[in-house]
Structures are given as structure tokens and as C-alpha cells.
Chain A
């Protein structure tokens, strides 16, 4: 009798262990590993998913949503380096997104520069602005930094509205050409999906390298203790400005893609509300994790789209969902989901074991 019991237990344990192993393959790692490898097994799962999605689900609405999600993910990825790794808050990221979009729109429509060149120029211009803004304000900390960055979204919008000769004012610029690469035009959502997600994957690899290098360690260090960071010779202000500029360059890329996909740049898209949305993507997705902001971007893009059906109730449902998520997943969907699931599974395992023992 006793022997039978123990074999049963072993089977069950095997089942649970197997389930845990499967989960650990798919979900991001909740532990704190020494950041060494660029690509792990589970990255290939994600890659496969990303590549197959538009083929498996051939709906142009889905493709469009995923294009937007990809653009927002680039934006959130850049911000997560600044917010999640360096621990600094910026509510002004929409401004760099806007600068990127307007740079591309102006260069392609006014000067006939090809989108690929405008794409790089957008990141450059956004980075230069970030450097000029970051140099003075990144000496501020915490709430003061948040307020200062909040200011420059408004300044950006005012400048855009008041210079109609350059930016088209309130109406914006129309007729931005499709993104093209050597004569190949990205003119359907299906093609744009692969363009945006390809760029996103490149930027993820860049960020992953950054995070596992001495720069990433310095960022994590200054997020925890600036005194300790400067005690080992890290120039804290320079480091913050550097990562702010990198984040802004990402936003410039995203803005450029946005202008090409939407074929327009207008001030509506770069409001303060949008800045807050990007911060929400990073926080909801999970901060100390590069996949978190991407999960957050996809989730929020879909959520807003689905809630659009509920018309006047959409905002209150949206608020409720955000509050619930922040209560139950305080450190992000990506980070917490697997901890919750693993906890649940091991809890079931323990409960079953206890029950069989009592019998």
C-alpha cells in the first residue's frame, strides 16, 4: 500500500516538474541570472511566434495592430532602458517620438530624401535634441525630473503648432511615402509587420548587449545607489545622459516608422497622454526585463483596440483593468505572470501530496 502510494506521488511529481519545465521554456526568467548569453532557447520560441503570427492569422486588422504594437514596443524598449534599468523617470518620451516622425515627414515630403536615409536622420535628430535637453535636466532627481520632462512634451507641441511653415501646424504633414528598401516598397500591413518587427528584433539585440555589458551594470548600479556607483568611478550624470540619448534614438526610429506607416505626422499623436501610455507600457509589462515593455506594448495596443467596441464605457473599463493589473502584477505582466503560475502549480503539487499523505 505504502509503496503504491509513493509511485503515484512520483508520477504526479514528474507531471508537475514537466509542466514547470515547459513553462520555464516559454516564459521569461523570473530569477536574477548573471547576464551573459545573448540568445537563450526561449528567445527562439518568441522569434518563431513573431515570424509565424501574420501567416497563421491572415487578418489585415491584426497585422495593422501588430505594426502599431511593434512601433510602440520600440518606443517602450528605449524608455525601459532609461526607466527600468537606470531607474529614472521620463514623461517626455512622446516628444522624441514626435521629433522622429516630423523629421521623416519633413525630409521625405519637402526634400525628397529617401525614407531609409530619413529613418537614420530621425534617430540622429532625436538623439541630438535628447542630448541638449538631457545635459541640464538630468541633474534633477525623482519627481523634479518627471516634471521637467513633462514640460518638454508641451513645449514640443507648442512649437509644432506655431510653426505651420515647417510642420504644417495643427493639420500636420500628409503624404509621407512608404518605407522602401532598394526599390522594395513596404506598402501592405503584412510587409510593414516584418519591417517593424525586424527592426525591433535588431534593437532588442542591441539592448541585450548593452544590458549584459559594463554599461548595463553601471545603469543598474546607479538605479540602486548613486553614491555607490560614483564610488567605483561611474560618472552618474554622463551615464544618465547617455542612456537618455539612446532611448531618444529608439524613439526617433519608432517615430520615423510611424510616419511612414501612417503616411502622416500630426500633433494629435504626440500628446502628453501618449507619453503616459508609453510609461504604462513599461510599468505594466515589467521594468527590469527587456521583454516586459514589449509585452506591455502589445497588451495595451490590443486592449485599447478591443475596448474601442464598448464606446463610452471604454475608458472606465480601461482604468479598471489597469488598476487591477497593477494590484495583482505590481512588477509587470512579464515578470509576475510566470512567478504566479509557477507558484500556483507548485501549490497544487504540494496540496495533492499533502492530501495523499493524510489518507
Chain B
């Protein structure tokens, strides 16, 4: 059984068909890439999977459970972590607080127990801080743990956003254009981290506009073009697919 499977998803925006009968599956323990030119509907697919947008029709299953009509927070509680294409780091908090907030659901406590700072809240908080620092060490941000998040560089903020999603201990991690705007050195570092995340047992699903990084690290790649899935398979097979080459070439012509 695949970890995530999307079946015949349709999403229209005022007559523009963003997703046209998209069906794909992500198997557990793999890295799946989703590539496609601008406006292909990649981010829309992510929004629909995480419940931020409602599909017009179609079904989404996570671990065999229908999650199509669940609220975003319910979906993330099931074990789906995500990052955003437009950076959504909480600049009003410190770096470590960003990570701690990612652990929100795994920490105990409500308004009253937190307000009275009952013993288990204190214990919980200390353990969480330790774990958050481990996460930061993995991301290479430990030296910045007490910085306000808005003072980090763009690349570091992207890393922090990924760390926040990781702090949830998700089974499936959706990365929306993680390499966009990064320097080549940072992209290389990011690719290493993603491979390590896979080794920890988290399945990764990456949307990327620039396909080179995805082609290197992904086990399987899907290509979306004008809301339609035009190819799916191992990277070396997909990269030779004539339709894919044409779609990308056309995309480049229209860019110029």
C-alpha cells in the first residue's frame, strides 16, 4: 500500500484548470520528485493534499485513510509535514522557538496546565528544548538557536522551515520548492540533508521547478504540465521522455 495516493484530482480556479485528473502515488521510504514548468499546478497539488484548498473532485488517501475533506491541522496531525514556497518562518520568534512550535502536537499541556506551569509541563519543556537543539544541530543552525528567526539569511530560513516540519516527526514531508533562491553550495547541502531525512525513515515528496537536484536524489519523478501528469517513473527514464523534453523546451521559450 502506498503511503500517499492521489486519485483523479481535479481543481479549477474560475475556469482555469489547475489540476486535471492527476493521479499519483508516493511509496513509503522513498524520495519522490514532482517537477514541471511554472504554472503547471505543482503547488496547487500540495495545497490540495495538505487541505489548504479543496479539490473539485477526486480523492486523497494517506496510509489508506481518506483525507480529502479534512482540515489542514487534522492532516498535519496524521503525520504530513510541509514547507511553503513563499517562506513562512515565524520571524517574531527565536530560531529554537520555531522548532519547538513544530513539536506543538507532541507536547502535553493546555491553557491551564501551562499557565500554572505544572511539573510535567516543565519536564516536557526541558526535553523538548534538548530535542529541538538536536534538530538544529542536524540542520547546522545550532549556533543561531537564540537568534530571532527574521535575522537569519534566506537559505537558513528555508532550512529552519524544513526543520520545523521535521520537528513534527512526520511520516511524509512535503517540500515546496526547497531549492528556490539558494546558492549552488546551499543546494548541495540541502540535497545531502534530504537524503539523510530519507535514511531516518521519513518519506519525502519534493516539488521543484529546477529539476537537476530532484533528478539526482529522487527515487521516482513525476512530471506535471498544464495540470496534467505527463510522465512518471525513475529519473533517468523520465529525463529521456520526449513529452517532458518538449514541455520544458516550450517552457524555456516562453520564459525568453
Contacts and interface: CB of A to CB of B under 8 A. Distances in A.
Contact of B73 (A210, A214, A230, A246): A230
Interface string B74-93: 00110001101000111111
Given A213-B109, A231-B165, A232-B168, A34 B115 contact: no
Q: Max chain B CB contacts within 10 Å: which of A38, A213, A236, A246?
A: A213
A213 B90 contact: no
Interface stretch (B57-65, B99-107, B217-225): B99-107
Nearest to A225: B88
A242 interface: yes
Contacts of A38: 117
Given A209-B115, A214-B107, A215-B111, A231 B81 contact: yes
Contacts of B107: 214
Contact of B102 (A212, A232, A235, A288): A232
B90 A242 contact: no
Contact of A32 (B93, B101, B109, B121): B93
B88 A227 contact: yes
B186 interface: no
Contact of B97 (A35, A210, A229, A235): A35
A221 B90 contact: yes
B139 to A, nearest CB: 16
Interface string B117-144: 1000100010010000000000000000
A166 to B, nearest CB: 31
Given A215-B110, A217-B101, A228-B84, A234 B94 contact: no
A225 B121 contact: no
A233 B71 CA distance: 10
B90 to A, nearest CB: 5
A32 B76 contact: no
Interface residues of B, number: 43
B116 A220 contact: no
A230 B72 CA distance: 6
Interface in B38-71: 50, 52, 71
B114 A228 contact: no
- Interface size on A, as a range, is 35 or more
Interface string A194-236: 0000000000001101101111111011011101111111111
Contacts of B90: 220-221, 224-225, 228
Contacts of B93: 32, 217, 220-221
B111 A242 contact: yes
A291 B75 CA distance: 37
A35 B146 CA distance: 10
B164 A232 contact: yes
A232 B105 contact: yes
Contact of B101 (A214, A235, A242): A214
13 contacts: A31-B148, A209-B117, A214-B125, A217-B100, A221-B93, A223-B92, A228-B90, A230-B71, A231-B81, A232-B101, A233-B73, A233-B76, A233-B77
Given A215-B110, A228-B164, 18 more contacts: A32-B94, A34-B96, A206-B115, A220-B97, A221-B104, A224-B92, A228-B84, A228-B89, A229-B101, A231-B50, A231-B165, A232-B76, A232-B81, A232-B167, A233-B104, A233-B105, A234-B73, A235-B71
